[in-house]
Amino acid sequence: MHISPPQEEWLNRRLRMQRKLAEGGFDACLISQNVGLYYFTGSMQTGYLFMPAVGEPVYYVRRSIIRAKSESKVRTEELGSFRNFGEQLSSDYSILFDSSDRAPIIGADLDVMPAQLYLRLTESIPLAQWKDASALLREVRSVKSAYEIERISRSAEVAAEALEAGLASLKEGMTELELISVIEKSMRSQGHIGLMRMRGYNQEIMTGVISAGDAAAEPTYFDGPAGGRGLSPAAPQSVSTRPIGRNEPILIDIGCCVDGYTIDQTRTAVIGELTSELQAAYDCAESIVRSIEMYLRPGATPEQLYAHALEMAKVAGLSDHFMGFGRDQVKFLGHGIGLEIDEWPVLARGFNEPLEEGMTLAIEPKFTFPGLGVVGLENTYLITETGCKALTLSPESIYVIK
């Protein structure tokens, strides 16, 4: 059942963004991406949200204006001809556009905005200085409200139940596709929306990666430690029709999205037993998780946590296999999560802003062995006042199917 945020949530989101705009020297921000539109308006209809640093935002909608007006928590107007969008803004925000002193500085979600749309906007709204505001938008969303945490927690409940359903059906000879079908059916029946959104360009994601043995270790374009073989070159990630065999690692990296909010978790299973090499790598992944949990608190920097994990993998003699293999290794340990899989902060080099209470992060140490498979685990955590709390509910131990 859909649960909407409390009314004050929408005002709090807007005020936080407006504070950041004012602090960053912006006069306003134009938001075009679906997730951003939903986050600030409660609707995801085609259009643009214009948010001034001071004053009332307006959601200009092309389609469907009827639905947008019934859903939106901000003033909503029909978008006229795009060629006249600049005139429409000048009329609604004359104090910004009629000044002869300087052109207003307008931010936009340029990390995801198509170049063609950007060019059309600069033509339609020539009396403006355009500037990238994507970092501000991502920073605002990185700290979650009580409502958002509750929705992510609900997704965790659904994912845990679906995992148990999948494991109960798991048997030798079953294909990866058959296994994920069981898991997806369980999730969908409990409200999983059927997709998980990613912000990264050309990055797509299914319900998750369920992959066994050598198929899990195949390199692919997906920006993660394991992508899976996929069903064809047209979908070169996630499950394949490969049968699952005995004594090979089965990577079960699944997400679930309820009311737009996603949980991300990974567990490792085996029919029989793992080799000593793979078992040792899994044990190292678990040790990394336990150690990171000790430091996962307000004030810690993502870059330091990533460096700590790299050092632990090095001491274990597993650097070459950590988070991928060879040229296909990824350079992070974890990532923020919420309305999108790849939110901020990222546990990687270059992310030096301290963690804050209310952030949610997925920590996913994994080890890749070409020809053999991938082992590891992943939990989603909430940063609390004094440390962290795991939101994932599935037990962590290797799931052994006799």
How much is the pLDDT for 2?
A: 81
**Residue where one domain finishes, among candidates 85, 111, 140:** 140
Nearest to 223 by CA among 198, 241, 242: 198
Find tokens 């469907």 and name the residue. Answer: 64
Number of domains in the chain: 2
CA distance 350 to 157: 33
Residue 2 lies in a domain: no
Is residue 263 domain-resident?
yes
Same domain, 249 and 392: yes
CA–CA separation, 379 vs 224, rounded Å? 15
What is the rounded distance in angstroms from the CA atom of residue 357 to the CA atom of residue 381?
11
pTM, rounded to two decimals: 0.96
Residues 39 and 98 grouped into a single domain? yes
Domain co-membership, 101 together with 201: no
Q: What does the alpha-carbon distance between residue 88 and residue 86 come to, in Å, rounded to a whole number?
A: 5
* Residues in Cβ contact with 316 at an 8 Å cutoff, skipping those fewer than 6 apart: 280, 284, 287
Residues 163 and 54 in one domain: no
Task: Kindly calculate the radius of gyration of the chain based on its CA atoms and give it in whole angstroms.
Answer: 23
- For residues 212 and 201, membership in a common domain is answered with yes
Structure tokens at 329: 């290794």
CATH code at position 112? 3.40.350.10
- From first to last of its 402 residues, what are the pLDDT tens digits of the chain? 688 899 999 999 999 999 999 999 999 999 999 999 999 999 999 999 999 999 999 999 999 999 999 999 999 999 989 999 999 999 999 999 887 678 999 999 999 999 999 999 999 998 899 999 999 999 999 999 999 999 999 999 999 999 999 999 999 999 999 999 999 999 999 999 999 999 999 998 888 899 999 999 999 998 899 989 999 999 999 999 999 999 999 999 999 999 999 999 999 999 999 999 999 999 999 999 999 999 999 999 999 999 999 999 999 999 999 999 999 999 999 999 999 999 999 999 999 999 999 999 999 999 999 999 999 999 999 999 999 999 999 999 999 998
Asked if 34 and 94 sit in the same domain, the reply is yes
Give residue 128's pLDDT.
92
> How much is the pLDDT for 100?
65
**Shared domain check, 203 and 257:** yes
Note whether 35 and 56 are within 8 A (CB). no
The predicted pLDDT at position 292 comes to 98
Same-domain pairing of 149 and 115 = no
Q: Are residues 32 and 48 in the same domain?
A: yes
Q: Is residue 1 part of a domain?
A: no
Angle between helix 34-41 and 7-23 (nearest 10): 120
State the residue range of the domain holding 233. 143-401
Last residue of a domain, one of 140, 156, 180: 140
Residue 184 inside a domain? The answer is yes
- Supply the pLDDT for residue 184: 97
Q: Tell me the C-alpha distance between 288 and 377, whole Å.
A: 10
